[in-house]
Structure 1
Amino acid sequence: MSAASGNGLEDESAYRWPIPPAEGWTADDLDRIPGLPPHTELIDGSLVFMSPQTRFHMRCMRLLEHSLLQQAPEHLDVDREFTIKLDARNRPEPDILVVPAEAATCSNQTWHKPEDVLLAIEVVSPDSRERDREVKPRKYAQAGVPHFWRVEQDEEKGLPVVYVFELDPATRSYGLIGIFHDRLKVSLPFDVEIDLTAMNRRPGPPRP
């Protein structure tokens, strides 16, 4: 009997991560690698694991998801923490996505095509600042995602601050449209107004 077995622990080989191929992982590998933690992303062929979620991050996502669902036109839908297969080596997972309702192809679907994504939202976390501020928006823009919101925490108020970007199709880069404190009001990708101070309040009833 091994020491690990004698201590009631599983064999240490169970904790070894799969060895990546020389050229790195592919987007399709995310659905095949056993034992990956939830919300694992693929950036430039490398696996990126998520740190424990903060209360701000969780409540901010809840506010945005419910607000967008209540105000989105019937032909659009909202997904939370769902990956986009940008290309063979990149499959990031935005916190919130707005897509056409018809983009949902089946119950076992695990990713969206970039051409189906109208809006990608990233709520910035301490361990993902560079990815959320630079790497991922650059990749979303290059893939043609027309709208991107970056959400930061106001350190004094503890509330969300939303940076709204729109794609310049000529340069495949984002331009900043506005920075919103307390209340977000935009007309694209559809008319939406969100009370950002309501992050810690319970969401209201769904729209009939």
Structure 2
Amino acid sequence: MTESSLPDWVFPPQEGFVAEDLDRIPQLPAHTELIDGSLVFVSPQASFHTRAVDLLVDALRHAAPADLRARREMSVILGERQRPEPDISVIHASAEHGMEQTFYRAEDVVLVVEVVSPESAGRDHDRKPVLYAEAGIAHFWLVENQSGRPAIYVYELDPVTRSYALTGIHRDRLKVSAPFDVDIDLARIDRL
């Protein structure tokens, strides 16, 4: 393949990409994220990842109050050069703007959930929580695979430091009251 036959997005602009570029770049692979102005491509996901997302999305949709919605794999614009795609976002219903919508804005998001994969572990543990906290997203859950079962680390934004504080680690059952009442039997993952 010659340089001229490569898509234009293979060669980033000198200042990096911006959030709106993800909607304008033709032939961009699905689920491409923008972190610090660089495109990040998602690897195929393992069964644990898919089942953990399915379990949580279903439970969140059933538990969420009428003014909130649980969405999977929608990007969130956090700033000019930041547009990650959380595995799950809980958003205000008023943030929905039609079936062609491709992103939400940070102020629309109440909770983000990242299910850690081997290829994304560094971003999920280190970079994304900082970006979500700086953008003011109040709740963040990090889901780890512990022998085929989810371990969910629940964080809440400290408004003074604008960083996340760990409020609990849940292995068998996730029961929290914020951002709304949620009670999930995590062993249900075995039946998915």
Matched, 1:177 2:171: no
> Structure 1: which 5+ runs fail to align?
5-10, 203-208
Higher strand content, 1 or 2: 2
Aligned to 2:18: 26
**What is the aligned counterpart of 1:166 among 141, 144, 156?**
156
**What is the aligned counterpart of 1:76 among 43, 46, 68?**
68
Matched letter for residue 182 of structure 1:
D
How far is the alpha carbon of 1:67 from its aligned partner? 0.6
Percent of aligned pairs with the same amino acid: 55
**Greater mean deviation of Cα atoms: 26-35 or 105-114:** 105-114
Classify the secondary structure of the residue corresponding to 2:71: strand
CA distance in 1, matches of 2:189, 2:133: 28
Aligned to 2:90: 98
**How many aligned positions are there?**
191
How far is the alpha carbon of 1:14 from its aligned partner? 4.5
How far is the alpha carbon of 1:43 from its aligned partner? 0.2
Matched, 1:201 2:185: no
**What is the aligned counterpart of 2:178 among 179, 188, 203?**
188
**What is the aligned counterpart of 1:137 among 114, 125, 129?**
129
How far is the alpha carbon of 1:97 from its aligned partner? 0.5
CA distance in 2, matches of 1:181, 1:37: 34
Runs of 4+ in 1 over 6 A off after TM superposition: none
CA distance in 2, matches of 1:100, 1:20: 33
Aligned to 1:205: none
1:105-126 superposed Cα distances (whole Å, 9 cap, x missing partner): 2221111110110000000000
1:98-142 superposed Cα distances (whole Å, 9 cap, x missing partner): 011111022211111101100000000000111001100100000
Greater gyration radius: 1
Question: How is 1:21-60 mapped onto 2 (pairs within 5 angstroms)?
Answer: 21-60=13-52
Matched, 1:127 2:119: yes
**Greater mean deviation of Cα atoms: 103-112 or 21-30:** 103-112
CA distance in 2, matches of 1:107, 1:85: 18
State the TM-score, normalized to the length of structure 1. 0.88
The Cα RMSD (Å) is 1.4
Classify the secondary structure of the residue corresponding to 2:180: coil
CA distance in 2, matches of 1:36, 1:64: 28
**Greater mean deviation of Cα atoms: 100-109 or 89-98:** 100-109
CA distance in 1, matches of 2:131, 2:138: 12
> Structure 2: which 5+ runs fail to align?
none
CA distance in 2, matches of 1:28, 1:146: 24
1:152-171 superposed Cα distances (whole Å, 9 cap, x missing partner): 0003xx10000000000111
